[in-house]
Copies of this chain bind each other. A is one copy, B any other.
Amino acid sequence: MATIVVDVMPKAELLDPQGKAVSGALSRLGVDQFTSVRIGKRFELTVDGPVGEDTLAKAREIADEILSNAVIEDVIGIEVVE
């Protein structure tokens, strides 16, 4: 059994209000080490058996078409773990 991890982040040119909110909360709590916070999604897709090239291609396809919204998000990584 393997897991394919897909990382999706809001596009760099977008504001990411969720990240801004966390960043503001950190400032108010006196945490000043981090200049910005951005929040994206991490998908774990479980695959029975080994991950072949076709399964990885299908993962790339659904990452672009279903798991992310290309207008506001970028798929920044797809990797097989375990």
Contacts and interface: CB of A to CB of B under 8 A. Distances in A.
A70 interface: no
How many copies the complex holds: the figure is: 2
Interface in A42-61: 42-48, 55, 58-59
A31 interface: yes
Given A66-B26, A67-B22, A35 B46 contact: yes
Contacts of A22: 43, 66-67
B33 A66 contact: no
A53 B35 CA distance: 17
B33 A58 contact: yes
Interface of A: 4, 7-9, 19, 22, 25-26, 29, 31, 33-48, 55, 58-59, 62, 66-67
